[in-house]
A = this chain, B = another copy of it.
Amino acid sequence: MPKVGMEPVRRKALVDAALRVIGGQGTLAVTMSEIARTAGVSPALAHHYFGSKEQLLIATIRSLLGQLRQDAVAAVKAARTPREKVSALIRVSFRADQFAPETVAAWLAFYSEAQRSEDVRRLLVIYARRLRSNLLASLRALCPADDAERIAEGAAAMIDGLYIRQSLKSAPISIEASIALTEDYVNAHLRANGG
């Protein structure tokens, strides 16, 4: 079998498999065996390439975050006005694949893990900061600086909150309704405080 150059292929397959398994079970307490099986390799190979379960999980989170970042950058770049940039950031947060139950479950598991793992926590803090500062940059062009801070904080909180409520799957809020709720929030506050 050993065609040379398998390493990047296997790494990606394992990371993708990890995300799928974690999302499916809604917890980081998944076995290396299951991840490996999903990726179509032996558990030993997973250890060979990642050294430990922890490292594989870190790589998995990194991958998810990296994808989100790419989407956000592209969306902001495509938008013309500051107000459109804000809407673009909101829309990215609720994109269908991000808002899918398995992805939401994975996010939740990562947040929970952040209580224990400093590495995971740091990654999530970076994500939170990035969303906040992206929003802030555009909002500053639309209202006074300290109002912008408050609106950015509030919008970010609302996005996270809608994710959590989505995770319960009780009265699943649609993507459109989630976007509308967040947009409403921004609009109401811009009208009250801004230009």
Answer whether residue A31 sits at the interface, using C-beta atoms and an 8 A cutoff.
no
Contact of A27 among B112, B184, B191, B192 (CB under 8 A): B112
Contact of A25 among B27, B115, B167, B173 (CB under 8 A): B115
Contact of A111 among B25, B150, B164 (CB under 8 A): B164
Nearest Cβ distance between residue A151 and chain B, in whole angstroms? 9
Interface flags, A107-146, vs B, CB<8A=1, else 0: 0110111111000010011001100000000000000000
Residues of B within 8 A of A192 (CB): 188, 191
Answer whether residue A153 sits at the interface, using C-beta atoms and an 8 A cutoff.
yes
Interface flags, A156-174, vs B, CB<8A=1, else 0: 1111111111011110010
